Structure 1
């Protein structure tokens, strides 16, 4: 379908049930939405609502005159979610798509449930290399850079899928390519570092020369609690050349951060509990479980995590804020400490914790807020030292 979006006409494809959890897939520079075909099919079969746009200037989308910025491209994607009535989505991106996804999470943390970032980076130096590439395209069209680009995209250019990628590249509008290349040239890691806190998986091909494993590790280190996956014998765009490995990584990410459609309340609750409290905490808690607390654990998983935290009416971040306020007001210090630690996964900032505790002081009393403030300060200090 085609939609009016932020001043241009965008081409968008949707797959899967309309009522499924939304997954936004963002492609790489010089390709189009079809670069995600294998993974989109797998997500749709699993019951997810998959939304795939052609970025501005790519595929069948219009190519407005540039330059473009990463902020502009992120707002395109957020506007697309608005147009489809999607309040919150899991966002997955390859290369520039991954960087756009990070920008979205920094701009509007309540709109991004999780991130899967494939073969991307915080920034893409050196600027002069991008300018040289844009100048070459301006002089000779996409064919002027095709050979050099393909060497970085795949390991085996003889594969039918690699030839399909080359056709995508050659059919890309030079105006759109140059606009997005400008965004990559000018983007800076400082724009997102410290501002992305949602559950994240970083995936990188072990032979990616464009955004090598060191760049992926920098992304991992910038986002608390990030999972890290390396795909063997993969270059910059593994969605075709290493289709099975990429699909497994994506489905594993979705299984970690969202309940599987059709899952029981306990299964759904366990998935959300892991995403909010963290894999390590849940593993320690489960290891200490015994016959005495098994019924209580089942009640919490099903009744609280599986039936309350999974409801669509509030974003996970909003539920986190409410938990902090209520636990502080009631003086439940141990649980408060646990949910302060969970803010690294829910996107709640220290400034927001301070505002919550002011509300507690106003409506539940200064002594309760003062006690909670001491717990929160000590816990945040521990988190910074860890």
Structure 2
């Protein structure tokens, strides 16, 4: 009996000690130490608008009567991913909008499911709230390409042309329970930040990339937004692209030939069901608009001017 009691005490002690170690490890690595507020946003470049699910950070420039182009970023890098392309299109007479999706950058992090409805509603609210006139052109990179594909299927009457840059194809949900993935994101936050360099073919050419990524990680809700998207954003690549094809919108598909994030071979899967103007980019990985800006931006401009 004494041996049993001692064994139970030892087990309880080990469980408690393990829990304490895990908690300490979590707190040490957890970067989410602030709540995003108006004060935090005071000196942030860009503008803010209150939408149905929270405040959205955006930038909108160009002539009042200019043709509208909306730039949608990827899974976790906020709207600065469009640096260069944004300025280029404004310079060429377009009215250009870029924004941070909920949970990213300096937009709110609502405690909701990050599913198709949330992302589509945010974009629809922006178009309405900013009173963008006429049919808009949508450009999406990586996850943003996936998102605008689904948005166009849901709201084809609002859209003129679609531009997809290395678009995400399938969402494979993690097999682990959500709480485990949340913990993993917390204790491996540095890996999440430094992993963004994998999107480049020549990461050494972008020494400031990780530094620019880190500030958004300090605000509570960033990690939850990413993890919820992993679990709650349902996506069937073939089905979505078949749907986009049925809308009969002109589509430009741009892809870096050396992409390892969303491998180049997925371009074949998309083109098997979606009619596109296909533009493969040599010597570029997942972000050809950054690695080959002149080549990609001029192609985008040419595509927008057609017809």
Higher relative contact order (CA 8 A, sep 6+): 2
Q: Deviations over 1:277-336 (max 9, x none)?
A: xxxxxxxxxxxxxxxxxxxxxxxxxxxxxxxxxxxxxxxxxxxxxxxxxxxxxxxxxxxx
Kindly indicate which of the two structures has a greater share of residues assigned to helix: 1
Q: Does residue 189 of structure 1 match 2:234?
A: no
Structural mapping, 1:229-308, within 5 Å: 229-256=279-306, 271=307
Give the CA deviation at 1:72. 2.1
Is the 1:104–1:112 Cα contact (8 Å) retained in structure 2? no
Give the CA deviation at 1:101. 0.7
Q: Which runs of 4+ in 1 moved over 6 A?
A: 129-133
Q: State the match for 1:64 in structure 2.
A: 110
- The two structures have a TM-score, normalised by structure 2, of 0.75
Give the CA deviation at 1:3. 0.8
Structural mapping, 1:71-86, within 5 Å: 71-86=117-132
Q: State the match for 1:98 in structure 2.
A: 145
Is the 2:163–2:253 Cα contact (8 Å) retained in structure 1? yes
Q: State the match for 2:253 in structure 1.
A: 202
Give the 3 Å change call, closer, same or farther, for CA 5–216 of structure 1 in structure 2: farther
Q: Deviations over 1:115-138 (max 9, x none)?
A: 000011332336449979944654
Question: What root-mean-square deviation, in Å, do the aligned CA atoms of Structure 1 and Structure 2 show?
Answer: 2.4
Is the 2:172–2:230 Cα contact (8 Å) retained in structure 1? no
Q: State the match for 1:107 in structure 2.
A: 154
Give the CA deviation at 1:237. 1.8
Give the 3 Å change call, closer, same or farther, for CA 94–134 of structure 1 in structure 2: farther
Consecutive unaligned residues in structure 2, runs of 5 or more: 1-46, 217-221
CA distance in 1: counterparts of 2:180 and 2:297, whole angstroms:
31
Instruction: Choose which of 259, 267, 270 in structure 2 pairs with 1:216.
Output: 267
Give the 3 Å change call, closer, same or farther, for CA 63–42 of structure 1 in structure 2: same
Q: State the match for 1:299 in structure 2.
A: none
Q: State the match for 1:328 in structure 2.
A: none
- The two structures have a TM-score, normalised by structure 1, of 0.60
Is the 1:142–1:169 Cα contact (8 Å) retained in structure 2? no
Is the 1:30–1:168 Cα contact (8 Å) retained in structure 2? no
Query: What SS does the corresponding residue of 1:163 show, helix, strand or coil?
Result: coil
Is the 1:24–1:51 Cα contact (8 Å) retained in structure 2? yes
Structural mapping, 1:1-386, within 5 Å: 1-86=47-132, 87-125=134-172, 127-128=174-175, 134-135=181-182, 137-140=184-187, 142-151=189-198, 153-159=199-205, 162-172=206-216, 173-183=222-232, 186-189=234-237, 192-196=240-244, 197-224=248-275, 226-256=276-306, 271=307
